[in-house]
Amino acid sequence: MNSMKRHLKWNTKCGLCLLPSLIGTAIFFVIPYLRVLYYSVIDNQFRRNFVWFDNYIETLTNEYFLLALRNSLLLIVVCVPVLIILALVISLALSYGIKWVRRTRFAFVLPMVIPTAGIVLIWRGVFAENTTVLPIYLLFIWKNIGICVVLLTAAFTSIERSVYEAARLDGANSFTLHIRITIPMIAPTVLFVTLLSIVNSFKIFKESYLFYGTNYPPDHSYTLQYYMNNNFLKLDYQSLATSAVLTSILVFGIVMAGMALQRRYNR
Amino acid sequence: MKKAAALLLGTALLTGCASGSGNTQELAADAEYFTYPAENVTAFDVSPEGILYTAEGETDSVLCEYDLQGGRTELAGIGGKSEAIACFDGSVYYTQPADNGTEIYRFDVQGGQTEELCGLDGFYQVRNFEITSGSAYILGVDDSRFGVQGTYSDEFGNYSYNGERLMKISLDSGEITGSPVEFPQAFSVLDGNALVYAADENGYYFSDFDGGGKSYNDLGNITAVELYDKDKIIFCSDTLIFKLCSGSVNQEDGIAEMLENKIVLNGNDIRFEGGFGFIYNRYGRFDGGGMIERFRAADYIKENNKIRFISAEYTFDDPFGCGYIIEQQKLDNESFALTVLSQDSNYDMCIINSEQDYSGNIRNKGSFYPLNDIEGVAEYLDKCFPYVKEAAYTSDGEIWMLPVLLNAGAVYYSPENCRSAGIELSEDMLFSSFIDQCKTASRSEFSSGYSVHCYQLTQNMLFDYISGHDSFDTEVFREFAAYAKENANISAFPEYMPITNHAENNIIFGTGEESFLFGYIRDGDWQKNYADNESFRAYPAPKLEPGTKNTVTCAFITVNPSSSNLDASLDYIGGLAKHLSQQENSLILADKSLYSETDYMTDLYKIYENGRICFNVSSEIIFDDYIKYCSGETDLNSLITEADRKLTAYLNE
């Protein structure tokens, strides 16, 4: 009985500690999201007539939404793997202590501190003649590589040396060490970094906007952020709300898939 | 410090109010606005009962009284001209200039006798004369102060000190006291207290008679002020030209415009009694005379009601206040969209121009309060040009906006000078032929006598084009772009397309109309400046295609349905609609009798009558690419491809 009381007390204490955070999440995330959901099923926020899924049908059949969706997914498919592989290689080099990589390590975190407008100016000069999507892809990789390297290097260095030494004593070679020890131990961080990069890929708007200087970039660089931003400026809240909901479902789906993958790998 | 001073002054005035009856008893007048049939008035005052006393005539003047319905009774002859009068306790006191200064007389209305009260030696040009609690206050030019330099210089150069001095005369003892306020401009009295408006080296301020409780403000050069309740004032200022305004001494609530087209020159020309204001309005009179007008204050002074406007990257003069205090906030596009979409209750209205991207979206997305039930709005729209009325209604018959200003491109010109210079302008002028005329003008002897803003002209041509097309891949656009690049290249600023502005226009006119040829402008208010000019004419702006209507942009107001101040907003809209429907030379109303009868104004009327309003994409969508094309960074085909891509995306996303 006493133990149960103590348990209840403990649960109450935990609940109270969590309460501020839960209230904050409800006020700043849950309630606004529910409101966006509501706005996505009405004709406009002033008259508020329910149109149910008409807005979704309209958005999903809009050629520019589909174009934006395609470009955003393409950015994930192309850039995120490149970014992760590059970050892994650099992190590995840093944790192995390769001299020239160590000397230039500050360069990898530099993009995180340089203002975007400054970077874009240089980018515009370098890629003045380029009419492909390459500058935006490179800008995304360059901008995000710093945080990926920091996180992955931390993951590498957190692996205990004794684990490697024990494996070596058991006769493991370098390849086996990486396959059997390094990769499994850094896998959660890799997954986290991948998800973080995917989320960041949806936010590559400011850089792109500054690079092209217009709300209407070339078709290959027209992403979901442009679609939403332009509809916002046109006061079309319903298109904005439906595309935001659809984007959130997409991101949620990717995160869920990533977590399922991790669980499967851990088993 | 300023607040403390204002508080002190306010308290002093409040204390003063408590001792007298003030202006609390409303007069039994019916009409909201009334003009007295008084002519040749040189001075007037109003008794607490609402009887209007006037001094009429420059020579052989008479004192008269008018009842509330305007019935006139002549009281007595007073000989020479009276500069100011004040009624108090059954008598009318009046001033008359004398050889050595000013003399003050008292006329007993009941007894019909006149007696000289006192004389003020070396005191001339009385600006205001008022009596309260047994003391007369008089503002005029003191000989001994003449030539003294004022210590303040306002930014508009309106302030000048001509030796004015404020004096107080005790009606019982005849004792005369000078106010220590050095540079008084105007004053008003209420319930035993005087409120003085003056300037010192720090600017304009209000104070009491002794110069205490200074409250600085930015009302500018006030020509007349009347204290009507505690620290509330009605005034006319050079900074709010031709307008009668209300506010408070400490300006905490801001300034409300009450009436337009009013010129009140002297302190003696404005009075307040029993809930009514009385002014001597000289607007539209070039003979120096004017009319005495009476208005019910409650209809024009809306206490403590502020109308809060928002606009997005658009500069627009505050719309007329109609008794409300107008507060305008200019936001960037993102903030504007956020404010509207978030249904912010802290703004009341949007002021938008039809050439702005989201102008039509406000209508399409229903972010407006329907104005159908607001008295005066539908009536006003009925008076507007038909296409303006059509634009103000949604397809469901709701009135979604109130149009306040139209702008159509126009070429105003001097027919005689153009003929002499070999300039041939016409009504159906195309862009290319207009540029040819600019070239001819630049080679003529009047080469500095024309004004065309190349950048503005190009932007307007692009807007004109977008208003009628949804693609740039047309022969019309190709011809325009190629011709403009060659002959009116905005990145090269050709000599025959000078970049001019209004100031330079003034120089052109300052040197005399004999050197003026023509000018191009799309600002309706600017075009109206020449409304009474007998020698000018006007043609519509050059077009890209013959036979098309004139593209007109419309500045309009929409009401925020979520406003926390909705009742006041709707009342304001009703007042504004009534105000706008009486405007002369408005270029928005269809009634021809409201326009000056000059040929120039008739031409302008035709231009605006034959207009169309489009709520479309802004010309900004192509402008950057167009500039690149003009500077040779890109070719015509690339420009068209790029512009079409953006336009298609805008229209379809």
Per-residue DSSP letters for B585-601? T-SSB--GGGS--SHHH
Interchain CB distance below 8 Å, B361 and A234: yes
Confidence bin at B500 (pLDDT 50/70/90): low
**Comparing C-alpha atoms, which of B351, B518, B500 is closest to residue B420?**
B518
Helical axes A224-233 vs A237-266, angle rounded to 10°: 150
Q: Is the dihedral of CA A16, A21, A25, A27 positive or negative?
A: positive
pLDDT tens sequence across B550-607: 999 999 999 999 999 999 999 999 999 999 998 989 999 999 999 999 999 999 999 9
CB atoms near residue B344 (< 10 Å): 15
What confidence score (pLDDT) does residue B61 get?
Answer: 92
Buried b (16+ CB within 10 A) or exposed e, A63-92: ebbebbbebbeebbeebbeebbebbbebbb
Residues of A in contact with B334 (CB under 8 A): 232-233
What confidence score (pLDDT) does residue B526 get?
Answer: 86
| pLDDT for B192 beyond 80 | yes
Kind of pairing between the strands at B243-248 and B232-237: antiparallel
Instruction: A204-210: list long-range contacts, CB under 8 Å, 24+ apart.
Output: A204/A75, A204/A136, A204/A139, A204/A140, A204/A143, A205/A229, A206/A116, A207/A116, A207/A119, A207/A120, A207/A136, A207/A139, A207/A140, A207/A143, A208/A136, A208/A139, A210/A116, A210/A117, A210/A120
| pLDDT for A191 beyond 50 | yes
| pLDDT for B447 beyond 90 | no
pLDDT tens sequence across A46-100: 888 899 899 999 999 999 999 999 999 999 999 999 999 999 998 988 887 777 7
| pLDDT for A2 beyond 60 | yes
Residue B551 tokens, joined = 């593209």
A223 touches A71 (CB < 8 A): yes
What confidence score (pLDDT) does residue B495 get?
Answer: 60
A64 has a chain B CB within 8 A of its CB: yes
Please tell me the least confidently modeled range out of A242-256, B78-92, B234-248, B369-383.
B234-248
Residues of B in contact with A218 (CB under 8 A): 645
The residue ranking higher by pLDDT, A267 or A48, is: A48
Report the chain A residue with the minimal C-alpha distance to residue B652: A64
Interchain CB distance below 8 Å, A237 and B341: yes
What confidence score (pLDDT) does residue B516 get?
Answer: 82
Please tell me the least confidently modeled range out of B281-290, B310-319, B422-431, B619-628.
B281-290
| pLDDT for B8 beyond 70 | no
**Residue B36 to residue B278: CA distance in whole angstroms:** 10
What confidence score (pLDDT) does residue B425 get?
Answer: 93
Mean residue pLDDT across chain B: 87
Instruction: Name every residue whose Cβ is closer than 8 Å to that of residue B641 and which is 6 or more positions away in sequence.
Output: none
B320 touches B579 (CB < 8 A): yes
Residues of B in contact with A38 (CB under 8 A): none
CB atoms near residue B573 (< 10 Å): 26
Report the chain B residue with the minimal C-alpha distance to residue A67: B653
**Comparing C-alpha atoms, which of B317, B327, B336, B324 is closest to residue B300?**
B324
Question: How crowded is the C-beta side of B162, counted as CA atoms within 13 Å?
Answer: 13
| pLDDT for B357 beyond 60 | yes
Q: Best residue in A45, A69, A235, A239 to probe B by mutation, most B CBs within 10 Å?
A: A235
B71 touches B58 (CB < 8 A): no
Percentage of residues of chain B with pLDDT beyond 90: 55
**Comparing C-alpha atoms, which of B397, B470, B413 is closest to residue B446?**
B413
Instruction: Name every residue whose Cβ is closer than 8 Å to that of residue A60 and which is 6 or more positions away in sequence.
Output: A66, A246
| pLDDT for B58 beyond 50 | yes
Shortest distance, CA B183 to any CA of chain A (angstroms): 53
Kind of pairing between the strands at B33-35 and B41-46: unpaired
Confidence bin at B74 (pLDDT 50/70/90): very high
Please tell me the least confidently modeled range out of A222-226, B282-286, B330-334, B492-496.
B492-496
Confidence bin at B47 (pLDDT 50/70/90): very high
The residue ranking higher by pLDDT, A69 or A6, is: A69
What confidence score (pLDDT) does residue B505 get?
Answer: 58
Interchain CB distance below 8 Å, B341 and A213: no
Interchain CB distance below 8 Å, A233 and B650: no
Nearest CB neighbour to B333, from listed A46, A227, A233: A233
Mapped to the 3 state alphabet, what secondary structure does B244-301 carry?
Answer: EEEEECCCCCCCEEEEECCCCCCHHHEEEECCEEEEEECCCCCCCCCEEEEEEHHHHC
Interchain CB distance below 8 Å, B645 and A222: no
A230 has a chain B CB within 8 A of its CB: yes
Q: What angle do CA B462, B464, B468 make, to 5 degrees?
A: 110
What confidence score (pLDDT) does residue B445 get?
Answer: 79
| pLDDT for A208 beyond 70 | yes
> In the predicted model, what is the mean pLDDT of residues B409-429?
91
| pLDDT for B129 beyond 50 | yes
> In the predicted model, what is the mean pLDDT of residues B167-187?
92
| pLDDT for B634 beyond 60 | yes
Residues of A in contact with B650 (CB under 8 A): 216, 230
Interface of A with B in 185-214 (CB under 8 A): 213-214
What confidence score (pLDDT) does residue B304 get?
Answer: 64
Instruction: Name every residue whose Cβ is closer than 8 Å to that of residue B120 and which is 6 or more positions away in sequence.
Output: B101, B102, B103, B104, B138, B140, B167, B176
What confidence score (pLDDT) does residue B508 get?
Answer: 55
Q: Best residue in B333, B358, B365 to probe A by mutation, most A CBs within 10 Å?
A: B365
Residue B584 tokens, joined = 């002369």
A128 has a chain B CB within 8 A of its CB: no
What confidence score (pLDDT) does residue A138 get?
Answer: 93
| pLDDT for B296 beyond 70 | yes
The strand ranges marked E within A131-248 are none
pLDDT tens sequence across B464-495: 999 889 899 999 999 999 999 988 888 876 66
What confidence score (pLDDT) does residue B242 get?
Answer: 85
Residues of A in contact with B337 (CB under 8 A): 232-233, 235
Residues of A in contact with B645 (CB under 8 A): 216, 218-219
**Residue B603 to residue B597: CA distance in whole angstroms:** 10
Nearest CB neighbour to B652, from listed A64, A233, A235: A64
Nearest CB neighbour to B366, from listed A46, A218, A222: A46
| pLDDT for B225 beyond 70 | yes
Please report, for residues B12, B188, B244, B511, the alpha-carbon distance to residue B216 in angstroms, rounded to integers and kept in the order given.
Answer: 17, 17, 20, 40
Task: Using an 8 Å CB-CB cutoff, list residues of chain B that contact chain A.
Answer: 333-334, 337-338, 340-341, 343, 357-358, 361-362, 365-368, 561-562, 621, 624, 645-646, 649-650, 652-653
| pLDDT for A241 beyond 90 | yes
Please report, for residues A207, A210, A214, B620, B624, the alpha-carbon distance to residue A122 in angstroms, rounded to integers and kept in the order given.
Answer: 12, 11, 18, 26, 20
Percentage of residues of chain A with pLDDT beyond 70: 98
> In the predicted model, what is the mean pLDDT of residues B494-516?
58
